[in-house]
Amino acid sequence: MTQEQDHGRSTAAHGSRIDAYIDRYAARAAGMVASEVRALFAVASRPEVVSLAGGMPYVTALPLDSVGELVADLVARRGTVALQYGSGQGDAHLREQICEVMRLEGIEAGADDVVVTVGSQQALDLITRIFIDPGDVILAEGPSYVGALGTFSAYEASVVHVAMDDHGLVPEALAETIASLARQGRRIKFLYTIPNFQNPAGVTLNAARRRQVLDICHRAGVLVVEDNPYGLLGFDGEPMRALRADDPEGVVYLGSFSKTLAPGFRVGWALAPHAVRDKLVLAMESAVLSHSSFSQLAVGQYLATQPWREQIKTFRELYRERRDTMLAALEALMPAGCSWTRPAGGFFVWMTLPEGLDSKAILPRAVAERVAFVPGTGFYADGSGARNMRLSYCYPEPHRIREGVRRLAGVIEQELVIRDTFGTGSAPSHSGVDTPGPDVA
């Protein structure tokens, strides 16, 4: 028996190694490969590991008694509606309530222009489905949300990053990128932006720049997709005015109850110009027929009967304390040469390592030292981000955040010793799609 035959037999015996369909997938499936990072995150979910990787909201802060009562009441009063199919656009009353939530950010909109989706992730998927042919350009901040990049890649979009600084997207960079792409004859379909407490960078687009970004996109005929899951979770003063508030025809706004209530219902939405909304509803029906009536009515019941504004305030205070804890720990413990952003809301700090260090190479060592983070490369479509990592403070208790930062600082110090001895830190691991699972997105 030749070695090749033997190899063939042993993998067949294992059952799961040979993909009989390998030559039959669609072109878009080529990029659907799990990264080796995922295995590490499985380890990172052990209780002894402090995970600064996850983007999970701290749902323990919810009034579980009240939620239990309201879902029971929902089944008793409206069970046959909650358990039945609903409309593709979503429950009409919930859409009214969503308009009320958006009003907090200056948005005046009618329920008829809202489509309820399976989390704002699905809104992103449907918008991409409607607008993107393979090769079309999407502009996105660099870095940008890993889950959005995964979706854009699934539709074979070409993502072009636009520079960001501590005040968010840089308007001049946006204008230059658009002009340069126009010169190359490339078609820009939309700008994807997370203006508030950006995931992963933690920075916020300031008010002056919002006007500029809208103007630039309007002039260039570029649709703006405003993804705003964290907008109500600012630590200072009133929520910022949404981009959508000043340009109803030029912006598709994506919202979510995942961070202001709970992700477990998977209720998000898109607010879109009327014609786009029509297409979204048809795309929604083709994708899932309709969202869960039960989930939608439960969220509606929560908004109607619970002090939801107070609950958001509770979340804000809780996350503010954790942000403070993380920033203080970073300040006290991180070695010289590390820098990081200072978020005014949301869940994330974006750290930049000293020259010569590679965050993905460091991750296995960090997990061995019982701390996890998300390496920076997953947040770029172009391979950037090797010196970056996303640290989240939303889920661990403050004393665990301090301990996590302490462990991470120790790992980075060791890496610096290696770098100073051998001229480089740990070798980068081989590449792959750095999409962590949904629990850390």
Alpha helices in 184-292 (DSSP H): 207-220, 274-288
Structure tokens at 26: 């669609």
- Min dist. Cβ of residue 233 to a copy of itself (A): 17
Nearer to a copy of itself, 105 or 136 (CB): 136
From first CA to last CA, the distance across the chain in angstroms is 47
In this complex, which beta carbon is closest to a copy of itself, that of residue 80 or of residue 421? 80
Which residue lies nearer to a copy of itself by CB, 56 or 366?
A: 56
Closer Cβ to a copy of itself, 25 or 422, answer by number: 25
Nearer to a copy of itself, 150 or 375 (CB): 150
**Greatest Cα-to-Cα distance within the chain, rounded to the nearest angstrom:** 74
Give the whole-angstrom CA distance, residue 34 versus residue 276.
33
Q: Closest separation between CB of residue 22 and a copy of itself, Å?
A: 7
Q: How far is the CB of 118 from a copy of itself (least distance, A)?
A: 4
State in angstroms the smallest separation of the CB of 96 from a copy of itself: 19
Pairwise CA distance, residues 153 & 161, whole Å: 14
> Considering the complex, what minimum distance in angstroms separates the CB of residue 293 from a copy of itself?
4
Q: Is 395 helix (H, G, I), strand (E, B) or coil?
A: coil
Min dist CB 35 to a copy of itself, Å, is 10
Q: Which is nearer to a copy of itself, 155 or 197 (CB)?
A: 155
Question: In degrees, to the nearest 5, what angle opens at C-alpha 148 toward C-alphas 18 and 300?
Answer: 110
- Closest distance of CB 114 from a copy of itself, Å: 14
Tokens representing 59 are 């749902």
CA 13 to CA 15: how far, in whole Å? 5
Q: Least Å distance between CB 196 and a copy of itself?
A: 20
Strand order in the sheet with 188-193: 114-118, 267-271, 251-256, 223-227, 188-193, 137-141, 158-162
Q: Please, what's the b/e burial string for 136-170 (b: 16 or more CB within 10 A of its CB; e: otherwise)?
A: bbbbbbbbbbbbbbbbbbbbbbbbbbbebeeebbb
Q: How far is the CB of 106 from a copy of itself (least distance, A)?
A: 20
The amino acid occupying position 214 is: L
For strands 223-227 and 188-193, give the pairing: parallel
Taking 3-state DSSP, the helix, strand and coil percentages for the chain, each rounded to the nearest 5, stand at 50, 15, 40
Read off the amino acid at residue 168: G
Report the residue number, 72 or 304, with the smaller CB distance to a copy of itself.
72
> How buried is 366 (Cβ within 10 angstroms: 0-12 exposed, 13-18 middle, 19+ buried)?
buried
Residue 116 Cβ, how far from a copy of itself at the closest point, in Å? 12
- Report the Cα 309 to chain-centroid distance in Å: 23
Nearer to a copy of itself, 26 or 336 (CB): 26
Nearer to a copy of itself, 201 or 283 (CB): 283
Task: Give DSSP secondary structure letters for 28-58.
Answer: GGGG----THHHHHHHHTSTTSEESS-----
Instruction: Provide the CA 217 distance to its chain's centre, in angstroms.
Output: 23
Task: Name the residue among 268, 238, 233, 236 with its Cα closest to residue 252.
Answer: 268
Nearest residue (CB) to a copy of itself, 62 versus 114 = 62
Q: Which is nearer to a copy of itself, 83 or 182 (CB)?
A: 83
As measured in angstroms, the least distance from the Cβ of 188 to a copy of itself is: 10
